[in-house]
Amino acid sequence: MSTPGTKPSGHLLAIAISIGLLAYLSGWSEGQVSMDVLSLMEAGEFEQALSELEVIEARGNEGGDEIANKSICLVALGEHPKAVRALKGGIITYPDEYSLTVVLADIYLSLDQPGLAKTVLRDARERGATDDVISVPLAICLGKEGNNAQALVELERAELAGVPLTDVGYNKSLILLRDGRAHEARDILEAVLEQSGEHLAALREHARALVMTSEGEHDERLDRAILQVNQVLEIRTEDWRAYEVLGDAFLAQADPMAAIAAYTEALRFGRNPAAVEDKYRAAAIRARQLHGDAVDLPTFKPQNALPPLPPSMEGLEDLIRGRRGLSS
């Protein structure tokens, strides 16, 4: 089983690494944005980057790109209301720069407010934003609301608009997995991985699909799933969803003690997600059935759980990476 490593400022660093790629997804070019600012953001120096952006604003040279960069810096520093205000003001000033709306929707989604995200995306569509810009994030909103059928419609629109399979397929697979259609999700994820073998989130979810489609504790798909998840954890050592899949695989192999260890890490890095708590207890019950009363049933959340993140730090990272196939 993989064990977590140490990664100083892990979430900030992951967001910083994603900034340059976020520029790509929003249609930015490096020539449009101060290279000094981008370099600072990529290095995780968000306070200094924000200072540079404030100088640009004071000179009267602030455009949509600078507003988007400012909002990301503010999110990284935990100033989410300021980020939202900056983006709303930017959308009023630059209504046709739809990248601002996408970043605002990402922030709302990371704050678990899909309704607000959906509203701003639909407003952008009414202003003329095309499906290649709007449909995937809108599908994410609908999926978070449980409207899977409409989310699939939006993903079809995105596909017709030319959005790559790495974006459309990955998000479609999440919906199919949620609906229990693991065979379909597995096939789509295999196609995604053929195009982007470094798409770690797809690799993790493909492992989940392998577990869900396995038949019996000796199924070789379980060994393959464990191998894939450990590949993910070598790079993303705090990925609680990967630990969850690892626990699922061990439990399917009738190894509840290993499953408990994996679920413990998922609870610790995931800040005690309820779904994993249920799996944790189920694994403990199975362990007692196999090993007797020497195994204590967990009745409380792990005492070493990490403190809560500032809202959106993990969520924004996951949304950016998940929607655009990033592997940081």
d(CA 204, CA 192): 12
> According to the model, what pLDDT value does residue 211 have?
98
> According to the model, what pLDDT value does residue 138 have?
94
| Homologous superfamily, domain 164-328 | Tetratricopeptide repeat domain (1.25.40.10)
Locate CATH 1.25.40.10 in the chain.
164-328
Give percent of the chain above pLDDT 90.
50
End-to-end Cα separation, the chain, in angstroms:
21
Assess whether pLDDT exceeds 80 at residue 18.
no
d(CA 229, CA 110): 24
> According to the model, what pLDDT value does residue 296 have?
65
Query: How sure is the predictor about 136, in pLDDT bands with cuts at 50, 70 and 90?
Result: very high
Side-chain-side CA neighbours of residue 164 (13 Å):
14
Answer yes or no: pTM beyond 0.85.
Answer: no
Side chain identity, residue 169: G
pLDDT (average), residues 82-111: 92
- Report the phi/psi class of residue 285: left, alpha or beta, with left for phi > 0 and alpha for psi in -120 to 50: alpha
